[in-house]
Amino acid sequence: MNLTQLQSLIAVAEAGSFTAAADKLGVTQSGMSQALAALEENLGVKLLIRQPRGVELTAFGERALDHARAALSHLEAIEREAMALIGEETSAIRLAGFPSVFATVLPPLLRRFRTLHPGVDLVPLETDDMEVETWLTAGSIDLGVVLNPSPARNAVPLGRDAWVPILPAAHPLSRRSSVSLAELAAAPFVLATGGCHTNARSLADAAGLTLQNVQIEVRDWSSAIALVREGAGVSLVPESTLPEQRRGFRVSKLTSPLHRAFGLVASPARPLSRAGRLFVEMARRSTAPTLA
């Protein structure tokens, strides 16, 4: 029995579904399902009844939920009292990241930390990935989300994303199940940076290619997607930035897949406070099921 399993039980009971509960904790639905299945196996007792429209607790599950909430409450009280004792309950954490992580993985982590530690002043800062690195080096921030961190940086992995081609619905390449980076680079192109140095242009450069016909360059992924939808060109975007409504454009795959990874790292220029260490540990616990 571990903290992740107890958090998952509480989240599912409150949300009524694996999907909503996983979103609340910032983990995958499969990771949460695995954590709860392991808890049931360890206990030898069913906790949940999976229904077509959601999840219900068994009678024992209801009793276990009370204990899980009490256990979590006691753990949070220990952390709060320890921080108050050393005078860090009112400390601040400055955390920087690039736009797409603020739209995906960071909100559940920020929400969870503020619930656990309401006395800590958590200051999120959105900027581009190069400035995140500059701030980390200078010690201007405590924590930063960086792209493709090396193993030596001891980053907490927050996610991994595939780069996917998007094409106007009427484009000849849209009928294909996969498209090469060279074919994209030769077509009229809508370049989006997402506030990151790593984008379609840098990926093409790394492959020895050049984007030959950039029609327009924008910052936001959503702007690029809207322009592709209107037929302005093709583009290459992170999969997590795709909208649910995909009318007017097609999503393909690269013949040679490319991915980006992002992780949480601490500034090497300043000691990480206890509040900062608590955020790192919470992030590590929250993302562990995702990476299993």
The pLDDT of residue 79 is 72
At 74 the pLDDT is 84
Q: How far apart are the first and last CA of the chain?
A: 17
Instruction: Judge whether residue 96 has pLDDT over 70.
Output: yes
User: Does 278 have pLDDT greater than 50?
Assistant: yes
Distances (CA, A) of 80 to 37, 124, 127: 31, 21, 31
Instruction: Return the C-alpha torsion angle 239, 241, 246, 252, nearest 10.
Output: -20
Local structure of residue 247 (DSSP, 8 states):
T
Interior/surface letters 24-38, b for 16+ CB within 10 angstroms, e for the rest: bbbbbeebbbbbbee
CA distances from 14 to 119, 149, 272 (A): 24, 35, 33
Flag whether pLDDT at 1 surpasses 80: no
**Percent residues over pLDDT 90 in the chain:** 54
What's the whole-number average pLDDT of the chain? Answer: 88
Q: Is the pTM of this model over 0.85?
A: no
